[in-house]
A = this chain, B = another copy of it.
Amino acid sequence: MAKVLMKGNEAIAEAAIQAGCRYFFGYPITPQNEIPAYMAKMLPKVGGCFLQAESEISAINMVYGAAGAGARVMTSSSSPGISLKQEGISYIVGAELPCLIVNIVRGGPGLGGIQPAQSDYFQAVKGGGHGDYHMVVLAPSSIQEMVDLVTDGFDIADKYRNPVMILGDGMLGQMMEPVEFREKKTILPEKPWATTGNKEGKPRNIINSLFIDPQGLEDHVLKLYKKYDEMKENEVRVECYNCEDAEIIIAAYGTMARIAKNVIQMAEEQGIKIGLIRPITLWPFPVDTFKKWADSHHVKAFLSLEMSMGQMVEDIRLSVDGAKPVHFYGRTGGMVPTPKAILEEIKKIREGI
């Protein structure tokens, strides 16, 4: 197909529809309003259903119901709205339902602001809801990747019967870039577990996350963790850029990774060799990639670049496990680090080496 110019938010919506998503439940919030607006316009045309829920809580619970009924379904929101969905997300994981949840992050805490931020990283990857659980968290850094990851996200969700989150930010949601919708036949998997009616002779389907016997609950959680092990095995995605003979490796995801590439170019012009590890799956985190580069003699240090006060840096430290120093530089609240300031930071680190 030809390239089209699209806003990130609209691209997400279009990608979802092309991936066979026919149900969307959401509640307005800046900066993701183009997603529901697009869905409201397009879903009725493809026999789907868009419904503006009365709240984010209702939206996520409608998703729970629709997913349990076997639909390919999604919701989207931004930071405060995602906080409200935490109980629901925990339920969806507990009941092993597939769905896609989009968070177009804005500055926090509280009402905060509406400019782009990455300060919901912890919430997304460590679990903002209660209990032991994980979600695959996908962090696109271009509109094209957003489109591709939406498709993959639905497939991963179905494969493991677990929610998948797309973690974007206000900038990715609002910006436009050329994007290509690759022709791809969507084959929705059979969902024999879905509650579509209990025909005589079939076992009943029950969507549930209650296990009143603690041994039963532990067994269930262990089952979930088996899936998480498989995800760690199969679903890690990461881009390494310029890492060969890099002296310092930046780690950055999403919008920050784009800026990191500018920095790398600037640094190169000044004769400084900088690499980039760009986690595409924030969970499962590309631990081995970090370990590998941490073991290379030419790498002297890592620098986590974030639009937050230092969240992903913990996962990097956990991966590198003391092998090399891991630094942090970030801005927050909607402020976006400039390539210049980052380069300054890198120079300081080099002096310290």
Residues of A within 8 A of B (CB): 57, 79-80, 82-84, 86-87, 90-95, 105, 107-115, 117, 119-120, 122-123, 126-133, 208-221, 224-225, 308-309, 311, 314, 317-318, 321-323, 331-335
**Docked CA distance A84–B129 (Å):** 8
Q: List 17 A-B contacts (CB under 8 A).
A: A79-B131, A83-B128, A86-B86, A94-B108, A95-B110, A109-B129, A112-B211, A114-B212, A117-B131, A211-B333, A214-B335, A217-B332, A217-B334, A218-B335, A219-B333, A317-B318, A318-B318
Residues in chain B near residue A122, CB distance under 8 A? 122, 126-127
Cβ of B110 and Cβ of A214 under 8 Å apart?
Answer: no
Copies in the complex: 2
CB closest chain-B residue, reference A128: B128
Q: Which residues of B contact A119 (CB under 8 A)?
A: 130-132
Q: State how many angstroms separate the Cβ of A293 from the closest Cβ of chain B.
A: 15
Q: Which B residues are in CB contact (< 8 Å) with A220?
A: 333
CA distance A213 to B114 in the complex (A): 9
Residues A133 and B109 in contact, CB atoms below 8 Å apart: yes
Nearest B residue (CB) for A127: B122
Q: Are B210 and A132 in contact (CB under 8 A)?
A: no
Q: Give the docked Cα–Cα distance between A182 and B171 (Å).
A: 54
Is the CB–CB distance between B86 and A108 below 8 Å? no
Bound Cα distance from A217 to B119, whole angstroms: 12
Given contacts A94-B110, A318-B314, whether A332 and B83 have CB atoms under 8 Å apart is: no
Q: Once the chains bind, are A123 and B112 in contact (CB under 8 Å)?
A: no
Rounded to whole Å, the gap between the CB of A218 and the closest CB of chain B is 4
Known: A84-B87, A128-B129. A112 touches B318 (CB 8 A): no
Report the nearest B residue to A77, measured CB to CB.
Answer: B130
Choose among B82, B105, B210, B225 the residue that contacts A110 (Cβ–Cβ < 8 A).
Answer: B210
Of all chain B residues, the one with the shortest Cβ separation from A322 is: B322
Docked Cα-Cα span, A184 to B317, in Å, equals 43
Is there an interface contact between A113 and B213, defined as CB atoms closer than 8 Å? yes
Instruction: Give the docked Cα–Cα distance between A54 and B225 (Å).
Output: 35
The 8 A-B pairs of least Cβ separation, nearest first, read A108-B131, A94-B110, A322-B322, A110-B209, A214-B334, A217-B333, A109-B131, A79-B130
Report the bound CA distance from A41 to B195 in whole Å: 45
Residue in B closest to A325 when the chains form the complex, CB atoms? B321
**Which B residue's beta carbon lies closest to that of A122?**
B126
The reply to whether A218 and B332 form a contact with Cβ atoms under 8 Å apart is: yes
Question: Beyond the given A107-B131, A107-B217, A126-B311, could you list 10 further A-B residue pairs with CB under 8 A, ordered by the A residue number?
Answer: A91-B109, A93-B109, A94-B110, A108-B131, A109-B131, A113-B216, A122-B122, A123-B127, A123-B129, A127-B128
- Whether A110 pairs with B93 at a CB distance below 8 angstroms is yes
Instruction: Report whether A80 and B84 are in contact in the complex, using a CB–CB cutoff of 8 Å.
Output: no
> Whole-angstrom distance between the alpha carbons of A286 and B249 in the complex?
29
CA distance in complex: A119, B129 (Å): 10
B321, A317: Cβ atoms closer than 8 Å: yes
Distance, CA A90 to CA B107, complexed state (A): 12
